[in-house]
Amino acid sequence: MPKIIIPRDTIREIKLEDLMENVQFMRHSRLRLAQICAAWINNRYELSYSFVDESTYAMITLRVYVELDQEVPSIGVFYPYATFYENEMETMYGVHMRMMHMDYHTKLYRISKWAAMLPEDVRQKKIAKDKPKTVVPGASEQPDQEGSAELNAIVQKAVPLRKAEMKAMAADKDIPGTKMASSVPTGDAGAASSPLSERAIRGEQMNAQAIQAPQTKKTETADGKEGEQ
Partner 1 sequence: MAKRSVIPFGPQHPVLPEPIHLDLVIEDEKVVEAVPNIGFVHRGLESLADKRDFNKMVYVIERTCGICSFGHGLGYVESVEHIMNVEVPDRAKFLRVIWAELGRMHSHMLWMGLMADAFGFENLFYACWRVREKILDLHELTAGGRLIFSVNQIGGVNKDITPEMMQQILKSLDEIEEEVKPLEKAFVNDYSVQSRLKGVGVLTKQQAHDLGCCGPFAKASGMSFDYRMTGYEAYKYLDMEPITGTNGDSFDRCTVRIKEVYQSIDLIRQAISKIPEGDINVPVKGMPNGEYMARIEQPRGEAIYYTKASGKKYLDRFRLRTPTFANLAGLTETLKGADLADVPILILTIDPCISCTER
Distance of alpha carbon 153 from alpha carbon 160, whole angstroms = 14
Q: What is the footprint of partner 1 within residues 161-200 (CB under 8 A)?
A: none
Q: Are 59 and 34 in contact (CB under 8 A)?
A: yes
Interface segment toward partner 1; rule CB under 8 A; list 51-59, 122-130, 148-156, 220-228: 51-59
Q: Which is nearer to partner 1, 30 or 131 (CB)?
A: 30
Q: Are 211 and 227 in contact (CB under 8 A)?
A: yes
Distance of alpha carbon 84 from alpha carbon 216, whole angstroms = 44
Tell me: does residue 28 bind partner 1 (CB under 8 A). Answer: no
Annotate 124-170 with DSSP letters as a single string: HHHHHT--PPPSSTT-SS-TTSTT-HHHHHHHHHTPPPPHHHHHHHH
Q: Which is nearer to partner 1, 106 or 219 (CB)?
A: 106
Annotate 64-106 with DSSP letters as a single string: EEE-TT-EEE--TTT-TTHHHHHHHHHHHH--EEES-SS--TT
3-state secondary structure of 19: helix
Query: How near is the Cβ of 108 to partner 1 at its closest, in Å?
Result: 6
Query: How near is the Cβ of 44 to partner 1 at its closest, in Å?
Result: 13
The one among 72, 79, 90, 202 contacting partner 1 by CB under 8 A: 79
Tell me: does residue 110 bind partner 1 (CB under 8 A). Answer: yes
Query: How near is the Cβ of 64 to partner 1 at its closest, in Å?
Result: 15
| Dihedral pair phi/psi, residue 52, rounded to 5° | -120, 135
Tell me: does residue 100 bind partner 1 (CB under 8 A). Answer: no
Q: Which is nearer to partner 1, 2 or 185 (CB)?
A: 2
Q: Using CB under 8 A as the criterion, which residues of the chain lie in contact with partner 1 when the complex forms?
A: 1-7, 9, 11, 30, 32-35, 37, 39, 41, 48, 50, 52, 54, 57, 59, 61, 79-81, 84, 102, 107-111, 116-117
